[in-house]
Amino acid sequence: MSVLIRELTAADRVALLYIFRHLGAPSRYQRFLSVKAELGPRELAHLVSVDHWHREALIAWSSPPRAPIGVARYERCEEFDLAELAVTVVDDWQRHGIGRLLVRELGERARRAGIRRFTATMLWENRGAVALARGLGPDAAGRRHAGGILELSGSWR
C-alpha cells in the first residue's frame, strides 16, 4: 500500500469536500456527532486554516491514481501542551490502518510543537475511533457523557 501523507493546505478544499462526500451517513454522524448533510463554506474555510503550530492537519492520499482518503488534525487547547484530536477516513478505506498512519505522523508533529497530551470526543459505540485513540498512549482514559459521548484523553506516545 503506497499511501502519501502530507500537510493540509488551503488548496485542499476540494479534497476535503471529496472526503466528506465519501463518508456514509453513519460515518458523518460518528465524526461530527450530529446529522450533517454538507460542509458549509465557513466550516470548510476553518478546516483548511492551519498554521502548523497551534492548528495542524495532515491529509492522506491513496496509491495511484491518487485520491484523498483521510485527514487528521489537532487544535491546541488553552493549556499549551494539550490539543484536541480529530480523524476522518473515507468509508472504503476504514480499517486499513490509514487513521493509525495519520495519527502517528500527527503525534510526531504535535510533540515538536510542545503538545504532550490529547483529548478526543467521540461516540462511545464508535469502536474504531475508540481503539485508535486508546492506541495513542498507555494512559488514555475515557469519561462517558450523556448522549453516548465519550471523551478520551491521554499523553502522546
Domains of the chain, each with CATH number or no CATH:
4-155 (3.40.630.30)
Residue whose grid cell is 488534525 = 73
Mean pLDDT calculated for residue range 37-48: 90
Between the alpha carbon of residue 84 and those of residues 38, 65, 141, the distances in Å are: 22, 32, 14
Burial class (CB in 10 A: 0-12, 13-18, 19+), 17: middle
Give the pLDDT band of residue 141 (cuts 50, 70, 90): low
Where is pLDDT greater, at 127 or 72?
Answer: 72
pLDDT exceeds cutoff 90 at 124: no
Where is pLDDT greater, at 92 or 144?
Answer: 92
Q: Report the alpha-carbon distance of residue 145 to residue 157 in Å, rounded.
A: 25
pLDDT given for residue 143 in this prediction: 75
Return the ∠ at Cα 75 (arms to 18 and 92), rounded to 5°.
Answer: 30
Give the pLDDT band of residue 53 (cuts 50, 70, 90): very high
Where is pLDDT greater, at 150 or 19?
Answer: 19
pLDDT given for residue 16 in this prediction: 95
Q: For 63-116, how does the pLDDT look when each residue is reduced to its tens digit (9 = 90+)?
A: 888 999 999 999 999 999 999 999 999 999 999 999 999 999 999 999 999 999
For the entire predicted model, the pTM comes to 0.88
